[in-house]
Structure 1
Amino acid sequence: MLKLTYTERSFYLECLAQSLEEWVAQRVILAIRVGQPLCFEPSTASFLLPVDLPGVEVLKAEIKRHDSEMTICSCDAEYVEVTLQGSWLSSGSEEAVGVFVTTMSERTEFFLHKLWQDAQICAVNSAEC
C-alpha cells in the first residue's frame, strides 16, 4: 500500500506492508476513540517527478504494460505528473490536509516509492542528478 500524507507545506510518500483494509480499519477505530470526524472518499492524488530522473522512462513503460491505476504525463520541460487512483482520508470533505492511500502491485509500489525518494535526494543535492 502507498500512503501519501499531505500537510500544509508538503507531502510525504510511504510504502507500507499493511493491507489497505487493515490500515483503514485502524484509522476508523482511532477516529471513533478520540472523537475525531473522518471523511473517506474515492479520489486521485498527484505529485511531480523530475523528467530526467533515472527510472521515469521505466515507470512510463510499466504503466503502458499493466494498465495501472496510475497515469503519468508531461507538465513542462522539467517535470512529469504522476496521478494515482485511491482514497482520501481527512477530517472533512473540503480539507487539503489529509492522507491518500492506494494499492497496486508490490513491485510498482516499491518502484514508485524509490523514484519519489530519489527525487527528494535530487532536490537536496541538485548538482548530483
Structure 2
Amino acid sequence: MLKLTYTENSFYLERLAQPLEEWITARVILALRAGTPLCVEPSTASFLLPADVPQLRHLERHQEGEDAIAVSLCDAEYVEVSLKGTWMTSDSDCAEGVFVASLSYTIEFFLIKLWEETQIQTRCLP
C-alpha cells in the first residue's frame, strides 16, 4: 500500500506493508475513539516527477488496468503521476490529509524508488 501525506507545504510518499483495508479500519477506529472528525472518501491523488528520469519509461509501460495509475506530461520538466485510492482528512474542505492506494508490489516499489531518487537529486542541487 502506498501512503501519500499532504501537508500545507510538503508531500511525503511511503510504502506500508499493511493491507489497505486494515490500515483504513484502524485509522477510523482511532478517530472514533479520540473523538476527532475524519472524512474518508474515494478519490484520486497526484504528484510530480521530473520528466528526465530515465526509469520513467518503465513506469509508463507498466501502468495498471482500469486507470489505477496514470502518467501524464505536465510540461517540459515534469510528469504527473495520478493514482486512484482513498482520501482521508479531518476537514473535507482542507487540502491537507492522507491518501492511500493499493497497487501491485512491483509498481509500489518502483514508485517509491523513483520518488526517493528524485528527492535525493533535489537535495543535492546547489
TM range (shorter): over 0.9
Query: What is the CA–CA distance in structure 2 between the aligned matches of 1:122 and 1:46, rounded to whole Å?
Result: 20
Counterpart AA for 1:27: R
Partner of 1:106: 105
Q: Percent identity?
A: 57
State yes or no: 1:36 paired with 2:36. yes
Q: Normalising by the residue count of structure 1, what TM-score does the alignment of the two structures yield?
A: 0.93
Task: Please state how far the C-alpha of 1:93 moved relative to its aligned partner.
Answer: 1.3
Q: Normalising by the residue count of structure 2, what TM-score does the alignment of the two structures yield?
A: 0.95
Unaligned runs of 5+ in 2: none
Query: Any idea what the Cα deviations from partners look like across 1:90-112, whole Å, max 9, x if unmatched?
Result: 01211111000000101110101
Counterpart AA for 1:109: E
Q: Give the CA RMSD over aligned residues.
A: 1.2
Task: Please state how far the C-alpha of 1:85 moved relative to its aligned partner.
Answer: 0.5
Task: Please state how far the C-alpha of 1:29 moved relative to its aligned partner.
Answer: 1.1
Partner of 2:96: 97
Counterpart AA for 2:101: T
Identify, as 1 or 2, the structure richer in helix.
Answer: 1
- Give the paired residue count: 125
Query: What is the CA–CA distance in structure 1 between the aligned matches of 2:50 and 2:57, rounded to whole Å?
Result: 11
Counterpart AA for 2:10: S
Displaced runs of 4+ in structure 1, greater than 3 A?
none
Task: Please state how far the C-alpha of 1:37 moved relative to its aligned partner.
Answer: 0.4
State yes or no: 1:2 paired with 2:2. yes
> Could you say what secondary structure the match of 1:96 adopts?
coil
Partner of 2:12: 12
